[in-house]
Every structure is written in structure tokens, then in C-alpha cells.
Amino acid sequence: MYHKPIAIGAEAVLYLEDWLGLTVLVKERVPKGYRRAEFDNYIRRLRTINEVRAMLRARELGVPVPKIYDVDLVNMRIRMEYLNGTPLVRLLMDNEELDDLIINYIRTMGNYIGILHRNGIVHGDPTPANALIVNNDKLYLIDFGLSEILGRAPNAQDIRMLYKLALDLNVTLRSFEALRKDQSRLLFTEFLNGYKGAMGPELTGRVESIVNRIRRMVRYAVR
């Protein structure tokens, strides 16, 4: 049974469905009329496959993500576990003080992204909006729609790969700046503390250095 959409994104509609006796979350990539039908079908299929692969791999690595129940590559639908939780972004918006609980969630998020990066997975949109607190304690990563599996672990000499990881973290830093401009660097430092636990100090330092380089380039370009 199709239910009213609970969210409509740039490329997909999310809705709840009664499926085999379970209430599941369905993510359906809808056709885009401005693209040629063959190309549109290819893009939607590829992104659906990439998202599922990244989520399955994340679970193998111990990163909490919704369970995948079913993949429909004809209609470009993913049926997954419905998690009724609170987005981390909501905690940041609703609380003026950055208490220990929020800081711990930020570090945990950083650690999970670090685990993904250490295993060659780019999340694509690692922001507090895509970190969900379930049952008031456990943090899940959600929305792997822009994810990419790089196929290898990073090393300190692989600049191209480190650049992709840095672009991922730049998205995180920009989200902190949008939410808490005055405290964005503090939030990012705590995020990196968790990230470092998975990536190690050397790789973390290299990725952070590239993030800073990216930001200097952007500031120079917009002057």
C-alpha cells in the first residue's frame, strides 16, 4: 500500500509502506523529465545500486545503518528499515549549549565516517541531517544516495583518493558552519577526534590539510 510521502528530495521520494507485515521506508528514485529516458534510467539504476552496496558494506563494517529488505531495480525502489528517531541536526538547532551528549554524538558520527573512509567508502552527504538518534542513544547514518565505493583503502600518498575524502569532510564542515557558525570549528574538531579513531592520526592530518586547502581555494575564487 502506497502512503503519503514523508519526504521529497532532489532525486527521490520517501514514503512508508506496509510490506509483508512490516512498516518499511521506501526510497523511490523518480524519473526526471529533463533527461533522456535511457540516460535517466541508467543514472537512477546506478545510484540505487551504489546506495545499496554502500549501506550493505557499512553494516559489514559495524556502522549502524538501516537494514535493507528489498531492492527493486525496475522501479528504482529500496525498501529498508524504518527508524523513527531524531536527526542530530535537530539537537544542534534546539540546544544552545553543546553539552557532553551532543559532543559525543558528533564524535561518534566522525568515527563512523572514518570507518567508511578507511575502507574506501565516501558517504557523499555526511551532515548532521543524515545522522539519526534512535531510542535516545544509538546513532545511525542514513541517506547514502550520493555514496561512492572507491574500491581500495586510502594511503598517505594517494592524493586523488584523499582529495575525495576531503571533499566529503568539507561537506560536514560547511554544514556545521550553516548550523553553528561561531562553534563550527569546535564541532569539526570533535568530529575529527572521532574520525581519527578510525583513520589514524597520519591520514586524518593529510585529509584535514586538504580540506583547509580546498577552503582557501574557494575563498580565493570568490574574491
Catalytically active residues are 125
Q: How far apart are CA 129 and CA 205, in angstroms?
A: 25
Q: How far apart are CA 71 and CA 27, in angstroms?
A: 10
